[in-house]
Amino acid sequence: MAGILKIQEQIHHKILQLRKMETLITKIEFERLYNDSVTTDLDKKNIDVWIEKLDRASIKRWMFKHPSLILGELTSRRLKEIARKLCIENWPRKSKSQLIVDIREKTHVEE
């Protein structure tokens, strides 16, 4: 009886992983980045492998670091992560529009 419960648990866990992967790859942002001209064939092959392995972390990392991301399309949470990494002052208290301006200023100064 314990063996059956373990199998059911494994199947349930696999189904949840598949659902999470499905929600990630059906997002408009993922589709746009995947079909973008900047995305190389090697990137697409890596993404296909990550999808087969259900490796959501690697896909999210790729999406986060994609060169064609537009700051206005990012969520406030992601903008705050970028601001924190760039050491922008008072980043937790700033609005989305203020974060975009500060991130642009900080990245243009560094280039």
Kindly state the tokens that stand for 41: 């064939």
* C-alpha of 4 from chain center: 36
Same structural domain, 43 and 6:
yes
Domain count, the chain: 2
Same structural domain, 2 and 36:
yes
pLDDT of 111 over the 50 cut: no
Q: Spell out the residues 6+ positions from residue 51 whose beta carbon is closer than 8 angstroms to its own.
A: 21, 25, 59
Which pLDDT value is given to residue 17? Answer: 93
Give the pLDDT confidence of 58-68 residue by residue, as tens digits.
998 888 777 77
Same structural domain, 20 and 36:
yes
- Say what the pTM is: 0.62
Same structural domain, 29 and 61:
yes
Which residues constitute the domain of residue 94?
70-111
pLDDT of 16 over the 90 cut: yes
Cβ(88)–Cβ(103) below 8 Å: yes
